[in-house]
Structure 1
Amino acid sequence: MDTRPIETWLTDMDGVLVHEDVPIPGAQEFVEALKASGLPFQVLTNNSIFTPRDLRARLLGSGMDVPEESIWTSALATAQFLHDQRPGGTAYVVGEAGLTTAMHDIGYVMTDRDPDYVVLGETRTYSFEAITRAIRLVDGGARFIATNPDVSGPSQHGMLPATGSVAALISTATGRRPYFIGKPNPLMMRTALNRVNAHSETTVMIGDRMDTDIISGLEAGLRTVLVATGSTRPDEVERFPYRPTMVCDSIADLVGLVGKGL
Structure 2
Amino acid sequence: MAYKGYLIDLDGTIYLGKAPIDAGKRFIDRLQHAKIPFMFVTNNTTKTPETVAARLKNEFDIHVSSDLVYTATLATIDFMNEQAKPKTAYVVGESGLKDAIIQAGYTIDEIAPSFVVVGLDSNVTYDQLATAVLAIQQGACFIGTNPDKNIPTEKGLMPGAGALISFVETATQTKPVFIGKPEAIIMEKALAKLGCHKAEAIMVGDNYETDIRAGLNNGIDTLLVLSGFTPKSAVPTLPQAPTYIVDSLDEWQLK
TM-score when scaled to structure 1?
0.90
Structure 2: how far apart are the matches of 1:51 and 1:211?
Answer: 24
Matching residue's letter, 2:79? F
Deviations 1:200-226 (A, max 9, x none): 100011111222111111222111111
Which consecutive unaligned segments of at least 5 residues does structure 2 have? none
Shift of 1:136: 0.8
Shift of 1:162: 2.4
Structure 2: how far apart are the matches of 1:51 and 1:157?
Answer: 23
Range 113-122 or range 226-235, more displaced: 226-235
Matching residue's letter, 1:69? D
Q: Alignment RMSD, CA only? A: 1.8
Alpha-carbon contact 2:86-2:114 (below 8 Å) kept: no
Alpha-carbon contact 2:7-2:204 (below 8 Å) kept: yes
Structure 2: how far apart are the matches of 1:235 and 1:130?
Answer: 38
Change (3 A) 1:28 1:198: same
Instruction: State how 1:1-262 maps to structure 2 within 5 Å.
Output: 3=1, 5-60=2-57, 61-86=59-84, 89-154=87-152, 159-254=157-252, 256-257=253-254, 260=255
Deviations 1:153-180 (A, max 9, x none): 3556655432222222212222112111
Range 136-145 or range 149-158, more displaced: 149-158
Alpha-carbon contact 1:21-1:58 (below 8 Å) kept: no
Shift of 1:88: 5.9
Which consecutive unaligned segments of at least 5 residues does structure 1 have? none
Shift of 1:15: 1.2
Q: Tell me, what secondary structure is at the counterpart of 1:129?
A: helix
Alpha-carbon contact 2:119-2:165 (below 8 Å) kept: no
Matching residue's letter, 2:114? D
Q: Tell me, what secondary structure is at the counterpart of 2:142?
A: strand
Matching residue's letter, 2:115? Y
Structure 2: how far apart are the matches of 1:130 and 1:17?
Answer: 32
- Pairs aligned (count): 254
Q: Tell me, what secondary structure is at the counterpart of 2:199?
A: helix
Q: Tell me, what secondary structure is at the counterpart of 1:192?
A: helix
* Structure 1 consecutive aligned stretches of length 4 or more whose deviation exceeds 6 Å: none
Shift of 1:244: 1.0
Change (3 A) 1:232 1:156: closer
TM-score when scaled to structure 2?
0.92
Alpha-carbon contact 2:16-2:154 (below 8 Å) kept: no
Shift of 1:197: 2.1
Alpha-carbon contact 1:210-1:237 (below 8 Å) kept: no
Structure 1: how far apart are the matches of 2:158 and 2:227?
Answer: 21
Change (3 A) 1:105 1:199: farther
Structure 2: how far apart are the matches of 1:97 and 1:35?
Answer: 31
